Amino acid sequence: MLKSMTALDEENRKKRSYTTINIPWALMDRIDAVLEKDDNGYARRSDFIYDCIRRRLRELGTIK
């Protein structure tokens, strides 16, 4: 389980509207293979990853 945000985390969150994550290269290679197809519907890696996260959050019932 994630720990609650520290004061430093809260301060950093106010300064930026995004965060950075690490993705294993093997997984990134699979994402890039999807993006190489012309009919994938994604312009950038970030678009694909945002969509995947949103879909999973919907499955979990945390967003509609």
Per-residue pLDDT tens, the chain, 64 aa: give them: 555 667 777 777 778 888 889 999 999 999 999 999 878 899 899 999 999 999 999 999 998 8
Q: What crossing angle do the helices spanning 25-36 and 45-60 adopt, rounded to 10°?
A: 110
Q: Is residue 30 part of a domain?
A: yes
Tell me how far the alpha carbon of residue 18 is from its chain's centroid. Answer: 10
pLDDT at 51: 95
The CA R_g of the chain, rounded to the nearest whole Å, is: 15
Q: Is residue 58 part of a domain?
A: yes
**Dist. CA 13–CA 64, nearest whole Å:** 24
Q: Residue 63 sits in which domain range?
A: 22-64
Spatial CB neighbours of 5, under 8 Å, sequence gap ≥ 6: 13
Kindly state the tokens that stand for 56.
């999973």
**Model-level pTM?**
0.70
Q: Is residue 13 part of a domain?
A: no
pLDDT at 2: 58
